[in-house]
Structure 1
Amino acid sequence: MFRTLRPDAVLIQAVIAGALSFAHLHDLAAAAGQDGWKAWAYPVSVDLLLVAAWRRMRTTPGNRDAWLWFAIALIASLGANVATAGLLDMTDVPAWLRILVAGWPALAFLGGTLLAHTAHPTPEPDPDPVPVPEPEAAVDLVVERTPEPAPELPSAEPMPVEVEPEPAPREERPEPVRTVPAVAVPPALLAHAQKIADAHRAQTGAPIDAETLRTRHGLPAALADSIALQLA
């Protein structure tokens, strides 16, 4: 299948501009004394230098040499267009213009050689990607921790403990053995003797004994003993 040719306005405009610039350069070179095939070689040289500089500018951005030679070729082309627009007498070209036209081949050869032999910057190879290690399966590690020693407590001196003296054991007095009185005591006498015994205890703090009863009341010893035994 054949592709359908579509007219491109930009391409058509470039062809027209190139043809006009080519004709102007040819006319200027012929007016400057370059006749025959030499007049046709000048526009080819200018356009080739312009294209070479443009290509180097695209492949090497920021190249100052390419910008310089592009400007020189553009000035030569633009100058020829302006000169042939009626501003210059083509039958009487000034000497300085003849010198420029005559020196153009050497200038174009220098520019083409420099553009052709300028080393292209070699792009640095991308560093090898560092292989990313695959994540290992998680392994639960049980770490036995050594029990830390208990902190040493400061040695405290024992506090003196006051020991209370144990109470002396109470001497248990044997209870007096009560014997049945040998002499019967009348209740009235026993009640009177009880009052006397209470009064004696209140005064002396000790129970009354049989000797005191007998001495105070003149009682017989057997009767006094019997009363004291019952009052104890």
Structure 2
Amino acid sequence: MARPALRVDAVLVQAVIAGALSFAHLHDLAAAAGQDGWKAWAYPISVDLLLVASWRRLRSDGPSRLAWCWFVIALVASLGANVATAGLLNLQHVPAWLRILVAAWPALAFMGGTLLAHSTTDHPAPEVPATTPEPDSDREPVASPEPEATPAAVTEVQETPALAAAEPVPTPESATAAPAVPAPSVPAALVDHARKVSADHQARTGSPIDTDTLRARLGVPPQLADAIAAQLA
């Protein structure tokens, strides 16, 4: 099997050249500021590592003020060394403020690296949907300012008329008496709703509900209202 030919990546070569030049500029500036020997070589490594660490934090955890702050600090330190060694600054007589900055850089870089390595990213907490409490069947009904009607129960009663009972056969003794009117049958659901309406009226007014008010609240005929009131008594 033939080996693939080595390909030179122009972007990678450009990155290596730019990194080497920036490394040399940082070394020269540190040496001019009084950091000789291995200390001058450690400065460019510290600046580049802080720059890479902050950029990696931005790429992995997303934008954050901490990562952007230390990225800008490391970038300013690198660019400042490149500009300072371009002939704008006399490296034989470095000003005192620059010596102070170079001497304070290790503590600053150590603090930035520690914060980037051990701090957690603040992510917004997920929103919890508001849950509606289920109605408790054992709880007593709460008085409401306006009466609530149940059109479903009323419609059921209106659409389903009560079945008429068989007419009794008159006897000779009661032939002249008026036939008794059968009481209409009341659905259980309507009776339960009537109890709730009666309890609501009792809680709001302090007195039991009368038949006329019950008939108006339920919207039922008078005979059916009388039958419901008899069952509520």
TM-score between both structures, scaled by the size of structure 1 = 0.52
Partner of 1:29: 30
**2:71 is aligned with 1:70:** yes
- What SS does the corresponding residue of 2:94 show, helix, strand or coil? coil
Judged with a 3 Å threshold, the aligned counterparts in structure 2 of structure 1 residues 124 and 39 are, in CA distance, closer, same or farther, namely same
Instruction: For 1:58 and 1:20, locate their aligned partners in 2 and report how far apart those are by CA, in whole Å.
Output: 25
- Aligned-residue sequence identity (percent) comes to 75
**Structure 1 residue 15: deviation in Å?**
0.6
The AA in structure 1 aligned to 2:116 is L
Measure, in 2, the Cα distance between the counterparts of 1:112 and 1:151.
88
- Alpha-carbon spacing, 1:100–1:151, altered in 2? closer, same or farther (3 Å): same
Q: Secondary structure at the match of 1:62?
A: coil
1:3 and 1:124, CA in 2 relative to 1: closer, same or farther beyond 3 A? farther
Hey, which of these two has a bigger chunk of helix by percent?
Answer: 2
1:88 aligns with 2:85: no
Look up the SS of the partner of 1:7 in the other structure. coil
Match status 1:43 vs 2:44: yes
Runs of 4+, deviation exceeding 2 Å: 1-5, 120-125, 147-152
| Structure possessing the higher radius of gyration over alpha carbons | 1
Q: Deviation at 1:95?
A: 0.2
Query: Which residue number in structure 1 is paired with residue 59 of structure 2?
Result: 58
Structure 1 stretches of 5 or more lacking a match?
126-146, 153-232
Deviation (angstroms), 1:148: 5.4
Alignment of 1:150-229 (within 5 A): none
Distance in 1 (alpha carbons) for counterparts of 2:32 and 2:17: 23
Give the 3-state SS of the residue equivalent to 1:35 in structure 2.
Answer: coil
The structural deviation recorded for 1:119 is 1.8
Specify every segment of 5 or more residues in structure 2 that has no aligned partner in the other structure, as ranges. Answer: 127-158, 165-233
Q: Within 2, Cα distance between the matches of 1:124 and 1:10?
A: 41
User: Whole-Å Cα distance in 2 between the matches of residues 40 and 150 of structure 1?
Assistant: 103
Structure 1 pair 149–46 and aligned structure 2 pair: CA distance change class (3 A) = closer
Distance 1:28 1:123, change over 3 A: same
Partner Cα separation in structure 2 for residue 56 and residue 3 of structure 1: 35
Task: Check whether the contact 2:27–2:44 (CA below 8 A) recurs between aligned residues.
Answer: yes
Counterpart amino acid of residue 95 in structure 1: A
| 8 Å Cα contact 2:27/2:41 also seen in 1 | yes
Instruction: Give CA-to-partner distance per residue, 1:177-203, whole Å, 9 cap, x none.
Output: xxxxxxxxxxxxxxxxxxxxxxxxxxx
Q: Distance in 1 between matches of 2:6 and 2:122?
A: 38
Give the Å deviation of 1:118: 1.4
